[in-house]
Amino acid sequence: MMQQLKLIVSTFFLFLCFSCFSQTLKDSNGDVLAIIDSTGKIVDLNNHCIGQFTVNGVVLDCDSILIGSIEENSFKNSNTIVIGSINQEDEIIDINNDKIGQLTVDTNLIIKDVNNHIIGQTESTANKKWVIAYYYFFFNQY
């Protein structure tokens, strides 16, 4: 009986962890762009697949086809060419090593372009690399 109770409590805790740690990405108007769950699956507001980030840094589309990777602070396309990065000051850098944005970390993440305009934000703290990778790999796609 005690083992069954432990199993139920463990299962509930696991479910709670996976359901609580999703990251909602919003545009500057507060409209939901995407939701990234704790496993890295990315869906739109209608729960349609956009893609997935794996724990080992692989970026996949909805058909599980490799479209890129996250390696340390760099974002690479499927040909392993660096398309952008984030530096220690949370500046978002493009392929030409030019600053194209800034990530502000507060109770949520705020993504600003080089002109200091908010282009996106999360509802709560989130995985910085996944949020930036969303913009590199999926933002203009959906």
Q: Which structural domain range is residue 123 located in? A: 2-137
Which string of b and e fits 21-35 if b means at least 16 CB within 10 Å? ebbbbbeeeeeebbb
- The set of residues, in sequence order, having a beta carbon less than 8 Å from that of 67 and lying 6+ positions away, is 51, 59, 60, 61, 77, 78, 137
CATH at 49: 2.40.160
**Does 19 reside within a domain?**
yes
* Count of the separate structural domains present in the chain: 1
Of 18 and 20, which is predicted with more confidence?
Answer: 20
Kindly state the average pLDDT of the residues 91-112.
92
**Does 142 reside within a domain?**
no
In this prediction, residue 107 carries a pLDDT of: 81
**Does 127 reside within a domain?**
yes
**Does 67 reside within a domain?**
yes
Q: Are 49 and 41 in contact (CB under 8 A)?
A: yes
Alpha carbon distance 80, 75 (integer Å): 9
**Does 54 reside within a domain?**
yes
**Does 104 reside within a domain?**
yes
**Does 55 reside within a domain?**
yes
- Residue keyed to tokens 């090593």: 97
- Residue 40's pLDDT band (boundaries 50, 70, 90)? very high
Whole-structure pTM value: 0.77
Read off the pLDDT of residues 58-87 as tens digits, 9 standing for 90 and up. 999 999 999 999 999 999 999 999 999 999
In this prediction, residue 105 carries a pLDDT of: 86
